[in-house]
Amino acid sequence: MEAADLIGATGGCLCGAVRYRLSAKPSDAGYCHCRMCQQTAGGPVMAFATVPLSDFVVTDGEPQRRRSSAFGERWFCGDCGSPLAMRVDHQPQTIDFTVGSLDEPGMVSPTFHIWTRSRLPWFQIHDDLPRHATFRPQTSGLPTGSERWAEGASASS
Ligand SMILES: [Zn+2]
Ligand SMILES: [Zn+2]
């Protein structure tokens, strides 16, 4: 699949109430092992990719939005609960959407891991991608204390 084909890629939630279309190629994709992603997904990890906010076009329905931390909000389907996207205050121009919600999720390959500090011990990483204990060092605009917040209220370690 050519990268250019990602422009116009579509996706949505499990029940189909919320649908979206990308009008830009995702610039970045990675795995997040933070506790909040684990709780949101009910699984060990989530995969996100990034596009400019204006290029994530909701074409059907309206995602529910809930603030999940002091600096971020998560978008999901209010009917079926599928996680669709995440926005953070320190990167207001972009949105991170869930790779698994794409109609063809194999089109986007994650290239890094973040928050491996809370990686589940039984979930082994067998790739050579860069791993970061918390955020990537080049993450712009992080608010003070964000590392603590991102671990989630129920983090045990
Ligand atoms: Zn739904
Ligand atoms: Zn996360």
Give 145's pLDDT tier (boundaries 50, 70, 90). Answer: low
Judge whether 129 and 79 are in contact, CB under 8 Å. Answer: no
Q: Is residue 150 part of a domain?
A: no
Quick: pLDDT tens for 28-46.
Answer: 999 999 999 999 999 999 9
Q: Is residue 142 part of a domain?
A: no
- Tell me, in angstroms, the distance from the centre of ligand 1 to residue 157's CA: 33
Specify the CATH number for the domain of residue 24. 3.90.1590.10
Q: Is residue 88 part of a domain?
A: yes
Q: Is residue 15 part of a domain?
A: yes
The Cα-based distances of 94 to 13, 47, 87, 149 in angstroms read: 20, 16, 7, 20
Range of the domain at 31: 3-122+129-136
Average pLDDT over residues 136-151: 63
pLDDT at 6 over 70: yes
Give ion ligand 1 contacts, CB < 5 A.
13, 15, 17, 77, 79-80
- Tell me, in angstroms, the distance from the centre of ligand 2 to residue 69's CA: 11
Q: Is residue 147 part of a domain?
A: no
H helices present in the chain, as ranges: 35-41, 146-149
Q: Which ligand is nearest to the CA of 15?
A: 1
How far apart (Å, rounded) are the C-alpha atoms in residues 5 and 129?
24
Give 144's pLDDT tier (boundaries 50, 70, 90). Answer: low
Q: Is residue 84 part of a domain?
A: yes
Q: Per the structure block, which two tokens stand in for 62?
A: 């309206």
Q: Is residue 31 part of a domain?
A: yes
Quick: pLDDT tens for 105-128.
Answer: 999 999 999 999 999 999 999 999
- Tell me, in angstroms, the distance from the centre of ligand 2 to residue 32's CA: 4
- Tell me, in angstroms, the distance from the centre of ligand 1 to residue 106's CA: 21
Q: Is residue 64 part of a domain?
A: yes
The Cα-based distances of 10 to 3, 25, 65 in angstroms read: 14, 12, 20
Q: Which ligand is nearest to the CA of 45?
A: 2
How far apart (Å, rounded) are the C-alpha atoms in residues 154 and 111?
28
Q: For position 71, what pLDDT does the model report? A: 87
As for how many domains the chain has, the answer is 1
pLDDT at 151 over 50: no
